[in-house]
Structure 1
Amino acid sequence: MDRVIVLNADAHQVLHQVSLRHAVAMLYRDVARVHQSVPGRTFGPYPQPHSLVLVSYVYTRWLYEHSGRLPCSLANVLRRDGHACAYCGREASTRDHIVPRSRGGPTSWLNLVAACAACNGYKRDRTPEQAGMRLRVQPFVPTAADLRPR
């Protein structure tokens, strides 16, 4: 299922992801506009969005101040790891559970790393050791400052 990244109005803060259907509804209601589109693909009168940016800014300071935690989302894991694959160093587009979920691994900052599709597919539901792969980075729990655009 296609997921679309939703950015705050400043286009720097990832808020969450929505389905393609929800994204088109947001475009239709004029609450968001296409930030990045999928090349050569359209959805009705709109280019198929890869990411949307909200028209109005959503103030989310409470999220970090009151929970004390940043959401462990795909976009935030990619930003934490500099969009580089933790196994080979190429550009990452997915996240990988170091200890696979099928083996009881949690979806947490310390068990997730950015990965390219090739490495993620090769590793499958094995640990890096079982797959003969070496982690090039040590995962960590980031602060809001770690995820700010540079």
Structure 2
Amino acid sequence: MAPDTEQKSPDRGPARVPPRWFITTAWRVHRALYRVSGGRFGLRRPTATVFGMMRLHTIGRRSGAERIAIVAYFDDGPNLVTMAMNGWGDPPPAWWLNLQANPMASVDLPGGAHRQVIAREAKGAERDRLWDVFRRMDSYDADLDDLAALRSRETPVIVLRPHP
């Protein structure tokens, strides 16, 4: 299905995704806001109903250069959890492809904290449990499952475990 295809959600109406140009522009503005503010704006801590925002540093699988993305997350004990959703576009995000090639990464968290992590994809019952946490968050304008149905593949749930 095309990313702008509508899915019916009984509670919130049809799932709608903005045009790709809008999503990529928003990402660029978000990164610029973080950079221009010296890191004072652009990241946030998660709450019980709203996901947080963190900066994820990976190593490019082809270039070997550092790549940075700002991604949604929540805490699961000592782990950080995110989704490899690429703005609900169909292809996997480059940062997830980079982590599949080299799972060692680092994150910048709100308040200036920096953490080394190792990534893995959640599977089975663990994935279902973590997906349900995202599902319960009110941060989405449409049902999470309806948004995920816009993609031709299952959206990976990524666990970032602290690594000394």
Query: Could you tell me the TM-score, scaled by structure 2's length?
Result: 0.23
Report 1 or 2 for greater relative contact order, CA contacts < 8 Å, sequence distance ≥ 6: 2
Query: Could you tell me the TM-score, scaled by structure 1's length?
Result: 0.24
